[in-house]
């Protein structure tokens, strides 16, 4: 089942973010700590980055560490590539 969830996240990250918010309320609580604006902006503009940040955030370390930083950087590049690819195809 978790592998199916990862495949679903690869194709529909906003759906996965919504399902995680709906069915596991504690998933986003340590990293966003009562904030409302950052998760909403992440949902709208950088869904892969929001997913990776939430998945690799470590409260014991006080943030991201090691492979989490690499995963978030790759997710940012993936999000920017999707936006840039759509803009390039319109020309």
pLDDT for position 15 = 92
Give 55-69 pLDDT, tens digit per residue: 888 777 777 888 889
Question: Which residue range is the domain that position 19 belongs to?
Answer: 2-90
Cβ atoms within 10 Å, residue 60 = 6
pLDDT for position 31 = 67
Distant-in-sequence, close-in-space partners of 49: CB < 8 Å, separation ≥ 6: 42, 72, 75, 76, 79
- Structural domain total, the chain: 1
pTM value surpassing 0.85: no
When pLDDT is cut at 50, 70 and 90, the band that residue 28 belongs to is confident
Cβ atoms within 10 Å, residue 71 = 18
């Amino acid at each position: 089942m978790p592998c199916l969830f990862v495949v679903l996240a690869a194709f529909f990250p906003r759906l996965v973010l919504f399902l995680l918010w709906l069915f596991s309320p504690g998933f986003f609580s340590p990293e966003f700590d009562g904030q409302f604006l950052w998760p909403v902006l992440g949902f709208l503009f950088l869904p892969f980055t929001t997913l990776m940040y939430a998945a690799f955030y470590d409260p014991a370390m006080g943030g991201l560490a090691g492979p989490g930083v690499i995963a978030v950087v790759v997710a940012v590049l993936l999000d920017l590539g999707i936006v840039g690819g759509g803009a390039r195809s319109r020309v």
